[in-house]
Structure 1
Amino acid sequence: MMYADLIDQEDLLGQLKALGFAVPPGANAEQACECAVRGLNNERATDLRTMVKQMYTSSATILPAVRQAIDKQLLPALAEYQQSRSA
Structure 2
Amino acid sequence: MPAAPYIDAEAFREHLNAVGLEIPSQTSPAEACEQAVRGLDAQRARELRHLVEQLLAGSATLHPEVRQAISHTLLPALCNAAERTH
> TM-score with structure 1 length normalisation?
0.90
Runs of 4+ in structure 1 off by over 3 angstroms are none
Cα distance in structure 2, aligned partners of 1:35 and 1:17: 11
Q: Gapped runs of 5+ residues in structure 1?
A: none
Q: TM-score, normalised by structure 2?
A: 0.90
Equivalent residue letter for 2:6: L
Any conservation in 1 of the 2:13–2:25 contact (CA below 8 Å)?
A: no
The answer to whether the Cα contact below 8 Å between 2:29 and 2:69 also exists between their aligned partners in 1 is yes
Q: How many residues align?
A: 85
- Give the aligned partner of residue 39 of structure 1: 39
Question: 3-state SS of the aligned residue for 2:21?
Answer: coil
Counterpart of 1:10, as a letter, is E
Alignment RMSD (CA, Å): 1.3
| Contiguous gaps of at least 5 residues in structure 2 | none
Quick one: percent identity of the two aligned structures? 42
| 1:17-76: CA deviation from partner (whole Å, max 9, x where unpaired) | 111112134210000000000111111000000000000111111110000000011000
